[in-house]
Amino acid sequence: MKKLAIFGAGGHGAVIAEILESQNLSFEILIDDNPKNKILNGITAISRAEFLNLANAKDFGILLAIGDNLMRQNLYHFFVKQGFCLPFVAHRRAIISKSAKIASGSVVMPNTVINARASIGMGAIINSGSIIEHDCRIGDFSHIAPSATLCGNVQVGDCTHIGAGSVIIEGKSIGQHCLIGAGSVVISDIPPHKKVVGNPAKKELR
């Protein structure tokens, strides 16, 4: 089994460290682009350059603890080009259907539900307490924030953020690079590159 490194020494990094603990796993290296004075679980952060100098790609898997979708996307492709694998990890208290599919680099946090035939793209974050119902499709590098509920057959494009506590009703489609504000209720399709909030979600954010 490969050794594990976490990229990102902030809050997401702490959550991923606990996800690993829930699966009786641990990480050996903490990476951060601003590593000064950053420590997690007794491990002092090092820079990306330091990591690349000391680590062999065949020996390490990297877990991305970065909340920003575009930054996470860029990091994912950077490390893939360097030959590293980016496994997906899920907390022991997540409920994941055996027919669901989760791509590399994704993180599934505690108390989530991912139901039958759902599909999660690369580098996605399925945050604590969120519900991804049957036949949903979550695009690459999207973030489903805590306690969001996606009813059956919802389609979410790449690099989209679904805000905390939002509800997306069955069969709706949300385009790529969208932002759905916290607590919104989506009852109609949302085109790509839109920022909306409300109940129903239609007021555009600036």
pLDDT at 114: 98
Neighbouring C-beta atoms of residue 94, cutoff 10 Å: 20
Q: Is 152 annotated as a binding residue?
A: no
Are 183 and 96 contained in the same domain?
A: yes
Are 192 and 96 contained in the same domain?
A: yes
Are 83 and 96 contained in the same domain?
A: no
| Residue at a domain's end among 64, 87, 110 | 87
Are 92 and 188 contained in the same domain?
A: yes
Q: Catalytic residues, which ones?
A: 134
Q: Which CB contacts under 8 angstroms, 24+ apart, belong to 155-163?
A: 157/192, 158/121, 159/69, 159/70, 159/73, 160/69, 161/69, 163/197
| Residue at a domain's end among 87, 104, 138 | 87
Domain total of the chain:
2
Q: Give average pLDDT by consecutive 10-residue segment, the chain, 206 residues.
A: 92 96 96 95 96 94 97 98 96 98 98 98 98 98 98 98 98 98 97 95 76
| Residue at a domain's end among 65, 87, 109 | 87
Neighbouring C-beta atoms of residue 118, cutoff 10 Å: 25
Alpha-helical (H) ranges within the chain are 11-22, 48-54, 69-81
pLDDT at 1: 64
Measured CA to CA, the distance from residue 108 to residue 120 in angstroms comes to: 10
pLDDT at 12: 96
Tell me if 205 is assigned to some domain: no
Are 34 and 77 contained in the same domain?
A: yes
pLDDT at 2: 87
Are 36 and 113 contained in the same domain?
A: no
Are 52 and 70 contained in the same domain?
A: yes
Are 132 and 69 contained in the same domain?
A: no
Q: Is 193 annotated as a binding residue?
A: no
Residue 97: domain span:
88-197
Are 31 and 67 contained in the same domain?
A: yes
